[in-house]
Amino acid sequence: MSGFPISFWVVVGVLIAGGIWSFRRIKDGTGIPMLAVIGTVTAWYVGDVFYNDYGIFLQTFKDSVLQNAWWEVAWFLIVFLVAAPYVNRWFNARYLRQQSGVYQLARFGVDQPSLQRQLDILFIGCAFIYAILVLVAAIRIKGEMYYFFFPYLGYKPQPWGRGRIGTGFDAALSFAEYVQMMVSAVFGVMAAVSTNRRTRYLALLLCFIAWPYYLFDRTRNYILAVILPAILTWVFLRLRGSLLKKIAILGACYLVLSAWMAFIIENRSGGSIANAFKERGFNFKRESSVHHEGLNMYEELCWINTFIEKGTYNPNWGARYFAELANPIPRALWHNKPLIGIDYAIARGQGVKSANDGGDGSGGVYATISTGMIGQGVVNFGTILGPAAAALLMSFWVAVLARLDLNISKLGRLPLYALGLILTFNLGRDITLITLYPFVFGTALLWWLDRHPPRVANPPAPNPSAGSPAAGLPGGRPIQRRVRRVGIGLRPHRRPGSVRRS
């Protein structure tokens, strides 16, 4: 502990203060997303030095580099904590009088008729989308569809396979892959919070069918994006009991998930994960001791500062952010579309011997390197403007999630919100659309549904005498008399100038 500079303790202090301040903002919709960002910084940067041995960093990097990296983390946190409320006020000005829908669901339960009807409608739409994807996958992999659903029997087919750098309209394959990930995550949330037995059981069935495709994949971020939204929504919104009980269940889920990811790390270099599982089975004790790789964003930030200090790498002044924004454009339409992170990969020693060696879709490098949420800002705009730019981007992301929270009873907002919270952790490696595509496509689907709302046959007539604790949810009609009778203490929203009825 004596090896940590003063800047490290500044970071710890800002994290603690920011966590307390964000917790107190839960009711306005920004608190939970801000806590997710703070938790992400804690895991990827502070957690790095404990998990990967800070003593090695002391031997590898100069003291000035280590201190500057911690000051950049602190600067990111300060700008983020100051900017997030202002960005939210600007982005969600029309919803500021509403209260967090997630907070109310956690307090009063998810058994709200309007919310459950929306979940039933969304489930039908996602099941239809998944059926189309299954049909396309069957055309592409033909006789291997059996393993598409049951890869644990020894083989995982790749219906959406493509090179590292897409050619032609490979973007369509990527689109199908991310949409499949999105609906697979939605099925889990449906199974967790739906009170309609038919919807819940069908969602569970589709989870058993769709989830193995990701569980037996090498990409751990996909597993987190698909599995964790269901776990968190079930524990915090559906499961009843004390906080200690919920923490214990989350701890058990963490141990199992961590052990499974260790199994993937141990076997992904030797062949198929599915084949390794079929031959060896899953031994919890053996795999749980494997060291997880990739949790080293503070180390990467130190490398970035080292290269900039030596002059072997210069900030590209937004070129990498621009490449991220241009990523959705198919390469068939823009053949020379900029590549993401190639310059930094070369600086990190991942360049191939000659430019011609990059003709296999590798982009001229052996592998790209994640720079981290804060490091990505530094490679774009330098050590001062870079962390601030990354903080502003994450402030906007908090505002996007807050808008979903404030409208949680509308069609599809709850599953998309849960998915977005989990993807926040994945953004710790890089703020990129490649991580956010499942969320982006889900948002596009909801945008279309909002303008073409599905018809509900014979909707039940409202009963003015029957209220519910969540009547104050955004989009629902608060029934003040009923709320007062049961003593919930939830005050319904009144427009300015309106008259309170006795």
Same domain, 178 and 245: yes
Q: What is the pLDDT of residue 456?
A: 55
Q: Residue 239, SS3?
A: coil
Same domain, 412 and 471: no
Same domain, 238 and 161: yes
Same domain, 199 and 311: no
Residue that is last in its domain, among 233, 268, 287: 287
Q: Which of 232, 233, 274, 268 is nearest to 250 (CA)?
A: 232
Residue that is last in its domain, among 287, 320, 354: 287
Q: What is the pLDDT of residue 262?
A: 81
Q: Which tokens go with 349?
A: 């020693």
Same domain, 249 and 396: no
End-to-end CA distance of the chain: 62
Per-residue pLDDT tens digits for 210-264: 999 998 887 888 899 999 999 999 999 988 888 899 999 999 998 888 888 888 8
Which residue segment(s) compose the domain that 471 sits in?
463-502
Is residue 457 one of the residues assigned to a domain? no
Q: 31 and 100 in contact (C-beta within 8 Å)?
A: yes
The alpha carbon torsion through 204, 208, 214, 215 (nearest 10 deg) reads 110
Q: What is the pLDDT of residue 151?
A: 85
Same domain, 437 and 471: no
Is residue 41 one of the residues assigned to a domain? yes
Residuewise pLDDT in 10s, the chain (502 residues): 567 889 999 999 999 999 999 999 999 999 999 999 999 999 999 988 888 878 888 888 888 999 999 999 999 999 999 999 999 999 999 998 888 999 999 888 888 888 888 899 999 989 999 999 999 999 988 878 888 888 887 778 888 876 656 555 667 888 889 999 999 999 999 999 999 999 999 999 999 999 999 988 878 888 999 999 999 999 999 888 888 999 999 999 988 888 888 888 877 766 677 777 777 766 655 554 566 666 789 999 999 999 998 888 899 999 999 999 988 888 778 888 888 878 888 888 776 544 444 444 555 666 778 899 999 999 999 999 999 999 999 999 999 999 999 999 888 899 999 999 999 999 999 999 989 999 999 999 888 888 877 665 554 444 444 444 444 454 444 433 333 333 333 344 444 444 444 3
Is residue 237 one of the residues assigned to a domain? yes
Is residue 422 one of the residues assigned to a domain? yes
Same domain, 133 and 272: yes
Strand partners for 351: 365
**Helix ranges, 24-170 (H):** 31-41, 47-51, 54-60, 63-91, 101-108, 113-141, 145-149
Write a three-state SS string for 148-191.
Answer: HHCHHHCCCCCCCCCCCCCCCCCHHHHHHHHHHHHHHHHHHHHH
Is residue 326 one of the residues assigned to a domain? yes
The alpha carbon torsion through 468, 474, 476, 477 (nearest 10 deg) reads 80
* Cα gap 331→329, rounded to integer Å: 6
Same domain, 120 and 174: yes
Q: For residue 312, give the DSSP letter.
A: S
Same domain, 279 and 337: no
Same domain, 280 and 331: no
Q: Which tokens go with 268?
A: 């992904």
Domains identified in the chain, total number? 3
Q: What is the pLDDT of residue 294?
A: 66
Element (H, E) at 325: helix 319-326
Same domain, 82 and 229: no
Is residue 456 one of the residues assigned to a domain? no
Q: For residue 473, give the DSSP letter.
A: S
Residue that is last in its domain, among 231, 254, 287: 287
* Cα gap 65→460, rounded to integer Å: 64
Q: Which tokens go with 76?
A: 């990111």
Same domain, 36 and 126: no
* Cα gap 342→351, rounded to integer Å: 8
Q: 367 and 202 in contact (C-beta within 8 Å)?
A: no
